[in-house]
Amino acid sequence: MLIDEISEELRAIVGENWVITDPRAIDPYLFDKTEPYIRPQPIKEVIVVKPGSIDEISKVMKLAFASSIPVFPRGGGTGLTGGAIPTRSGIVLSLERLNRVNIDKNNMIAEVEAGATLRKLIEEAEKNDLYFPPHPGDEGAQIGGLIACNAGGSRALRHGTMRNSVLGLQIVLPNGRLVTIGGKALKNNMGTNFSHLFIGSEGSLGIIVKAYVKLYPKPRFSATLLFPFSSPNDAIEAAMELLWNGYVPLSLELVDATSMRKTADYLGLPWKYGTGEVYLMILLAEPNQEMLYAEIEGISSILSRRTSGEPILTERREEQDEILKIRSEIYSAYEKNLFEGLDVSLPLGEIRNFLEMLNRIGEKYGVKFPIVAHLGDGTFHPDILLDSKEKDVLVKVREEIYESAISLGGSITGEHGIGYTRRVYAEKYLDEGLKELMRNIKKAIDEKGIMNPDKFIP
Ligand SMILES: Cc1cc2nc3c(=O)[nH]c(=O)nc-3n(C[C@H](O)[C@H](O)[C@H](O)COP(=O)(O)OP(=O)(O)OC[C@H]3O[C@@H](n4cnc5c(N)ncnc54)[C@H](O)[C@@H]3O)c2cc1C
């Protein structure tokens, strides 16, 4: 095998211990968090390489380029579309050893190596009284992976997706060349800003090795509000009124009561947060108490006109953490019975129409969807549960949900990306001109097609 022939050269670059060829040690690198029913079959004839520096990554890429060997960049392996799963014989390039975080407090910036986990970045920022707002659900994700997927999460409403947090990037191109784009300055018009080409490119154009990301002073005062409603439509109308009145909370989530209670149960926690069919869950974070209270008052006066019961309002840290934990673990609570977790995104004004379409799809196929949405930014997570249905039926359900989102001017993915599992739908729904551009840019940067083949590019 070609990769066996280069294993000695790889060892010479990264050191004996960091080239993995034992099948048992390779196994954890063959999967990500994509549901077993939809993920690709991994190719086991791979070598896992764990470089310890940017220079080593550059040398590994030069070697792979010279031998035309496919390279599969791997971050925290929390992806949900099979993006990090090797689909050809080649190198799985794990960034895990490149995990340094340097907090530049003075400039309110973190200089982060790609393999640092989100958890580590959050902890290091907090030690300096700073905070990194983007928070996709799994803190084991790495900064490189988050940037490669342009990850979102519930706080995207106020702070945007990863794209909005990245000021500078260092990338190793497929031929091994290191490129630096941007840096620490908030504004930078010197040269073409190609960073947005790489952000969200899912490992198809190069290896992200380092990033400069924006940090913010840690908000000193926070509150979590749970408003119960008797129907999703009431909750959506109330949320839209909030947005129309100019309120931009840290996050504005829609969750059904069944999912919250089920997850509390799964975590062994009592549910002590009231009754209702669905909840608007609102997170607030402000630099002073006056601002926080003014926000709570304004929001409550708008929402209380439509709620179905007493809202829960808590400023106690432990209670806020508990509610957030329950919300964050909904995915895990359903995981065993999950065919596929979707992440369609909608224009805000179409959310109600989407929900109606979702109900019709549910009735047609006899399935029920948990209602879980980052409502404030229009991202819906209609989890397709197994519920003893045939795979063909579940695929039809997925396709009708995609069709609905597209017909309303939305997208089949607002967060998890295309990866392997959505490539066929990217082919179907992407604009012809855009597909051509994507292929041409891929060819220009990755002329031998070695970067994460079979993924992302339609
Ligand atoms: C419980 C749970 C909750 C989640 N919640 C959210 C959410 O709210 N919002 C959201 O957006 N996502 C969410 N995700 C999905 C996932 O966490 C994100 O897609 C994340 O960005 C993946 O990062 P990772 O480091 O795990 O990447 P991996 O899974 O390792 O890789 C993902 C892709 O990025 C590429 N890649 C990884 N590192 C690099 C690098 N350094 N350079 C170039 N390419 C690279 C890989 O090749 C692959 O294509 C969730 C996942 C789970 C399991």
Does the pLDDT of residue 248 top 90, yes or no? yes
Average pLDDT over residues 151-180: 96
Q: In the β-sheet with 207-214, what is the strand arrangement from edge to edge?
A: 101-104, 109-113, 207-214, 166-172, 178-182
The C-alpha atoms of residue 352 and residue 233 are separated, in whole angstroms, by 6
- The pLDDT, as a whole number, for residue 3 is 77
Complete DSSP assignment for 337-376: GEEEE-BEE--GGGHHHHHHHHHHHHHHHT-----EEEGG
What are the tens digits of pLDDT across the range 370-389? 999 999 999 999 999 998 78
For 8, other C-beta atoms within 10 Å of its C-beta total 9
With 0-12 CB in 10 A as exposed, 13-18 as middle and 19+ as buried, what is 299?
Answer: buried
Give me 166's structure tokens: 């990245």
Mutate to test the pocket of ligand 1, among 32, 149, 327, 342 (most ligand atoms within 8 A of CB): 149
Average pLDDT over residues 435-440: 98
Q: Whose CA is nearest to atom 37 of ligand 1?
A: 145
Mutate to test the pocket of ligand 1, among 35, 74, 411 (most ligand atoms within 8 A of CB): 74
The C-alpha atoms of residue 141 and residue 139 are separated, in whole angstroms, by 5
Tokens 């930078």 locate to 188
What are the tens digits of pLDDT across the range 193-247? 899 999 999 999 999 999 999 999 999 999 999 999 999 999 999 999 999 999 9
Does the pLDDT of residue 414 top 70, yes or no? yes
- The pLDDT, as a whole number, for residue 131 is 95
Closest CA to 96 of 27, 24, 164, 145: 145
Residues contacting residue 392 through CB under 8 Å, at least 6 positions apart = none
Over pLDDT 90: what percentage of the chain?
95
What are the tens digits of pLDDT across the range 141-160? 999 999 999 999 999 999 99
Q: Measured from the CA of 161, which atom of ligand 1 is nearest?
A: 11
Complete DSSP assignment for 404-417: HHHHTT-BSBSSS-
Does the pLDDT of residue 303 top 80, yes or no? yes
- The pLDDT, as a whole number, for residue 76 is 98
Does the pLDDT of residue 292 top 80, yes or no? yes
Q: Whose CA is nearest to atom 7 of ligand 1?
A: 136
Q: Is-contact 143 170, C-beta < 8 A?
A: no
Q: Whose CA is nearest to atom 13 of ligand 1?
A: 136
The C-alpha atoms of residue 99 and residue 209 are separated, in whole angstroms, by 10
Q: Whose CA is nearest to atom 21 of ligand 1?
A: 146
Q: Measured from the CA of 419, which atom of ligand 1 is nearest?
A: 49
Q: 452 CA to middle of ligand 1, Å?
A: 14
What are the tens digits of pLDDT across the range 180-199? 999 999 999 999 989 999 99
Can you tell me whether residue 117 is helix, strand or coil? Answer: strand
Q: Whose CA is nearest to atom 11 of ligand 1?
A: 151
The C-alpha atoms of residue 164 and residue 389 are separated, in whole angstroms, by 40
Give me 316's structure tokens: 């106690």
Does the pLDDT of residue 43 top 80, yes or no? yes
- The pLDDT, as a whole number, for residue 455 is 97
- The pLDDT, as a whole number, for residue 5 is 84
Beta-strand (E) ranges in 34-76? 46-49, 71-74
The C-alpha atoms of residue 206 and residue 175 are separated, in whole angstroms, by 9
Give me 391's structure tokens: 């795979």
Average pLDDT over residues 5-19: 95
- The pLDDT, as a whole number, for residue 4 is 80
Instruction: Compute the mean pLDDT over every residue in the chain, rounded to the nearest whole number.
Output: 96
The C-alpha atoms of residue 162 and residue 140 are separated, in whole angstroms, by 16
What are the tens digits of pLDDT across the range 127-146? 999 999 999 989 999 999 99
Does the pLDDT of residue 1 top 70, yes or no? no
Question: Please, what are the domains in the chain?
Answer: 2-94 (3.30.43.10), 101-217 (3.30.465.10), 221-328 (3.30.70.2190), 332-429 (3.30.70.2740)
- The pLDDT, as a whole number, for residue 396 is 97
Mutate to test the pocket of ligand 1, among 30, 78, 251, 450 (most ligand atoms within 8 A of CB): 78
What are the tens digits of pLDDT across the range 384-413? 999 878 999 999 999 999 999 999 999 999
Q: Measured from the CA of 144, which atom of ligand 1 is nearest?
A: 41
Does the pLDDT of residue 445 top 80, yes or no? yes
- The pLDDT, as a whole number, for residue 412 is 98
Closest CA to 229 of 283, 271, 278, 275: 278
Closest CA to 452 of 49, 87, 42, 31: 87
The C-alpha atoms of residue 207 and residue 145 are separated, in whole angstroms, by 10
